[in-house]
Structure 1
Amino acid sequence: MNRLPTCCAPLLHHWPLPRPVPGAILVSCPFDPALLASDDFSRAGIEQTASLQRSVAKRQAEYLAGRVCARAALMQLDGRDYVPGTDEDRAPIWPAGISGSITHGKGWAAAVVARNSDCQGLGLDQESLLSDERAERLAREILTEAEMQRMNPSQVGLSVTLTFSLKESLFKALYPIVRQRFYFEHAEVLEWSADGHARLRLLTDLSAQWHHGRELEGQFCLQDDQLLSLVSV
């Protein structure tokens, strides 16, 4: 029987975001790389690849925590015991008929899953809130010119962090569908509000369905200095 790794706190089956997504399950888990034990992979029943064996404790702990959350979410969704592997493009390999996304940040990991009949794509991303000073330095790498002009100068840290996170979530949601990479300049956040609602627009053609001008909804929440965003298709 699979057990919780020593580096992971008990799993949370919850929905911290402002609006539920019908059919979607989210599981999260605090973790501490300092508590990683040598037998944590075998304890959890999760394969430790050669590259993971060579990686630092932080990478091993965040991988473990993310996969533990993903397996628990799939178990809750349809009762299957399945740990997503990693594809050549580093994306998680989900079972047929399932959409999912995994994220991990500072001491916290989460996974969200749904049947394809409910969600064609899911993108989940967690980021630590940038300071205003760091956000100002990074803004032009992340924001389009239109986004720069719309940015509230009193919320630079939040605006840049949120734009980065939403675009990461958008990529995670659409990449499994279009199988085409795109970057920060290929999408824009049109608007967002304090209640956790956001709207995005594609600025490039990815497929006949996902074309320049196509708009999508996103959502987000703040937990202390951590921001979580989700784009669901």
Structure 2
Amino acid sequence: MNVSPILPACCTPLDAHWPLPNVLPDTVLLSTHFDPAQLLGDDFQRSAVVPPPSIQRSVAKRQAEFLAGRICARAALQQLQGAGVVPPIGEDRAPVWPPHICGSITHSTGRAAAIVANKQHWRGLGMDLENLLDSERAERLAGEILTPAELQRMAAGSPEQLGLCVTLTFSVKESLFKALYPIVQQRFYFEHAEVLEWTAQGHVRLRLLTDLSAEWRHGTELEAQFGVQEGQLLSLVSIPA
């Protein structure tokens, strides 16, 4: 009989609520809230998660977010395929999923989540969670994150939406990278994609601004979605099989 590993005191019970506009069929998304102040010295051992050396040497916040994310990922895999494994960290710092699985792990202040699917249904999944930027910080960071065309669209928009606009652009490009990098095996950066449009209902349209492979070329458009909850923005890019 399989005994489920103990949930550490620093994590709340896992939540299967879908926080985005469109539910993706054939996926499992789980999240938890975590508190680094509640992390105990033996929590990794009790949770049956082996921390890599870089995590062992890190501060409580980094340890707690890693543990929370891996617990979500293992439980999601268990729910999807009946066998839960903890995805290790690869040489490129990304989670290493079972060969037939695509997935994504994300965390921000006090919250972590993971999504997984079988590759026969989804080729790529990228999910990213960010704290909403205030207007002042968003204005400072806009030039590093937004393309010239995105900056023009931002300037034409509402000043009240500046923080949301920059946070969304940052997050959705992170999600795009997480979804596409395992497929193309080529790094790309903020200037290599642009957000063409987004709606208050949580729908986003993106376009690549560089050639990543014979299939993923400059001008290719993709869809994304996002949701805002408790001062945090969650975005998801999903590539169908």
Please confirm whether the aligned pair reaches a TM-score higher than 0.5, indicating the same fold.
Answer: yes
SS at match of 2:207: strand
Contact conserved, 2:76 with 2:84, CA < 8 A, in 1? no
* 1:1-233 aligned within 5 A: 1=3, 2-151=5-154, 152-154=157-159, 155-233=161-239
Distance 2:96 2:195 in 1: 28
TM-score by length of 2: 0.95
Residues 44, 51 of structure 2: 8 Å contact kept: yes
Counterpart residue identity of residue 85, structure 1:
P
Any runs of at least 4 consecutive aligned residues in structure 1 with deviations exceeding 6 A, and if so which? none
Q: In 2, Cα distance between the equivalents of 1:70 and 1:54? A: 22
SS in 2 for 1:93: coil
More moved, 74-83 vs 196-205: 74-83
Please give the alpha-carbon distance, in whole angstroms, between the structure 2 residues aligned to 1:170 and 1:51: 26
Q: Matched residues in 1 for 2:231 and 2:9: separation? A: 25
> In structure 2, what is the Cα distance between the partners aligned to 1:81 and 1:44?
13
Partners of 1:137 and 1:43 lie apart in 2 by: 43
Among all aligned residue pairs of Structure 1 and Structure 2, give the percentage whose two residues are the same amino acid. Answer: 66
**Residues 107 and 129 in structure 2, CA contact (< 8 A), matched pair in contact too:** yes
Q: Which amino acid aligns with 1:88?
A: E
For structure 1, which segment, 144-153 or 172-181, has the greater mean C-alpha deviation from structure 2 after superposition? 144-153
Unmatched 5+ stretches in structure 1? none
- Structure 2's unaligned 5+ residue stretches are none
User: Deviation of residue 14 (structure 1)?
Assistant: 2.0
List per-residue Cα deviations over 1:121-162 (Å, max 9, x = no partner). Answer: 000000000000100000010000000111114211000000
> For 2:122, what is the secondary structure of its paired residue?
coil
C-alpha displacement of 1:50: 2.0
State the Cα distance separating 1:224 from its structure 2 match. Answer: 2.2
Task: Calculate the aligned-residue CA RMSD, in Å.
Answer: 0.7
The amino acid across from 1:102 in the alignment is: I
